[in-house]
Structure 1
């Protein structure tokens, strides 16, 4: 029986970078996701941290090679006519694992079938096949037009991956800038934006205010950006904790529509977190706080797959005592909030 027709498109997507509690980092990646029947294909894979081969930071020659492969204008890179649909965001090494599929022509149509998780040269459909995904039949004209548009330069402009850090203290902005550069986001530090040329202001994707920046300074910076004719998100730091600030910045840089973000809402009290997700996905919650000696404490308080909808997750009171924040991470999404504690009495 022939596969039913599905619509095909591409949409900008982001794999949010992160500075994790154990010191590891996740690199920020912008890429084009495959949209099948109006929904990102990646969202059908609930526990996958991956990007498509159509990443914005690869050289034009490699992007052309990837597009030509998906158009079947070059030989398949894997046996059995298999192509990588999603790969490791850090190194793109097949040994780390990848989602692959057979792509073939059927008349003027393109068919994607036999999706599988693959870590070696050959895929084992019996053990690692995604039996609930596909096959998909795409009309040739729509399929070719979407992919050819990438080579013609007719695609959404990539997000501005540079931020301006406004802060009176040198140590924290410097540590934050170093962390952002480690995950692939440029960062500049200034006490204000008055002397920054308008062309440079237009290159920033967000402006970040440190906790010690006064309201007068914030207003002056906002005026500078407004005078330059650029509208960027303004991030008010929740706490002097680098991983929390990185999470806030990653959320600000994600310019995608709300419907294409897996994390829709996050709130937290001293007793529980309320998390809402738009599709089944793995969610990790990490609590951060500063102790009496001004040391940062971090504790993972939840790590599991959540179904679409709202969820209430109990929190360890010790992990969120005092001034604390909660960071939620899902594939491609991140949210950070301050923990609200009940007033005494």
Structure 2
């Protein structure tokens, strides 16, 4: 089989959850993406909202079964030697659509080929094939090493955030919203009283707006003393969907090259957005009115090509103290709207 070699690896990725402007929500999913020749494979699939089978929130036995399946230690789950590479982030139903591929051995090597979008038992390569993707030949030792390392259970983690502050009503609403999208959340007024073993369960911690500086410093020390490299979130405003987006961003932090959204700034007239691959981007503006009610408006929804883009904003949507949330598959960014003209 005359296929050039490609490198194979794995990288942490996420499908950002969130409370959307229309009141709906999408579930947060942490998973491992496949890295082919140094680039996440999912980025080659334009505007696809999907996760790999290597998700952190599936039971350990199922996670292990998925790894062994990719190692070809079990029979293919679909006819024709096809395996699910990416599936629906909300459920496991093939009817929602999945990216599948044939995985086979060629000598000591592993080959992925015939990528397709599949919604039933059989794939139609002529109609639904990804003709510009693959085939890929992976050196057997590199491929097996990357996947076998997952079988010790260290990759199976859960995302949790510790909320710190005295405004219990707001934090309770925030915790409920996070749990709705699949992110664990706990509330405390004193993180110093939380045992070190429990602090290690958190990927991020967030402060309420009334937490004084000395208490914030004590929380940082507590996490540092516990040896926890947790992301710190300083809430921009008491707007639950905005705070959810900030926490989602913190939980998904990592190299910029592994995210589709890499930059977001905004003024009262325009937003500057940068993306690394073709993808659908949604921009939502949030603000508090004079009665401290949350106002939300979707200001952009479209597919952007790689590079920087300047998108005009409706002045009414971002008047006063306003914030902008950008969402793309696997990425979320938040920014305060600055007054003035774009740079």
What TM-score range do you get, normalising by the shorter chain?
Answer: over 0.9
Secondary structure of 1:116's match?
Answer: strand
Aligned to 1:9: 9
Please state how far the C-alpha of 1:96 moved relative to its aligned partner: 0.8
TM-score (norm 1): 0.93
C-alpha distance in 1, partners of 2:61/2:202? Answer: 27
CA-based RMSD of the aligned residues comes to: 1.9
Q: Does 1:149 align with 2:149?
A: yes
Counterpart for residue 293 of structure 2:
295
C-alpha offsets along residues 226-254 of structure 1, whole Å, 9 cap, x if unaligned? Answer: 34443422211111111110110011112
Instruction: Give a deviation string over 1:157-177, Cα, whole Å, max 9, x none.
Output: 74x622121222221111001
Cα distance in 2 between the residues matched to 1:54 and 1:15: 13
C-alpha separation between the residues in 1 aligned to 2:225 and 2:147? 38
**How is 1:1-345 mapped onto 2 (pairs within 5 angstroms)?**
2-153=2-153, 158=157, 161-342=159-340
Partner Cα distance (1:333, 1:169) in 2: 29
Q: Helix, strand or coil for the counterpart of 1:194?
A: helix
Separation in 2, partners of 1:67, 1:156:
11
In 2, the alpha carbon distance for the partners of 1:64 and 1:229 equals 28
| C-alpha distance after superposition, 1:69-88 (max 9, x if no partner) | 22222222212221110001
Are 1:12 and 1:156, in contact at CA under 8 Å, matched by a contact in 2?
A: no
CA distance in 2, matches of 1:310, 1:109: 39
Deviation track 1:283-302 (CA, whole Å, cap 9, x = no partner) reads: 11111111223221211111
Query: CA contact under 8 A between 1:46 and 1:305: conserved in structure 2?
Result: no
CA distance in 2, matches of 1:284, 1:259: 20
Contact 2:56 2:155 in 1 (8 A): no
Give distance in 1, aligned partners of 2:275 and 2:338: 21
Q: Which runs of 5+ in 2 are unaligned?
A: none
Work out whether residues 163 and 187 of structure 1, in 8 Å CA contact, stay in contact via their aligned partners in 2.
yes
CA positional deviation for 1:109:
2.0
Q: Which moved more, 1:78-87 or 1:218-227?
A: 218-227
Contact 2:57 2:156 in 1 (8 A): no
Contact 1:52 1:86 in 2 (8 A): yes
Find the aligned partners of 2:229 and 2:112 in 1 and give their Cα distance. 40
Seen in structure 2, the aligned counterparts of structure 1 residues 142 and 201 have a Cα distance that, compared at 3 Å, is closer
SS at match of 2:88: coil
Pairs aligned (count): 341
Contact 1:17 1:183 in 2 (8 A): yes
2:231 and 2:148 mapped to 1: Cα distance?
A: 32
Quote the Cα distance in structure 1 between the aligned partners of 2:192 and 2:82.
54
8 A Cα contact 2:56 2:156, kept in partner: no
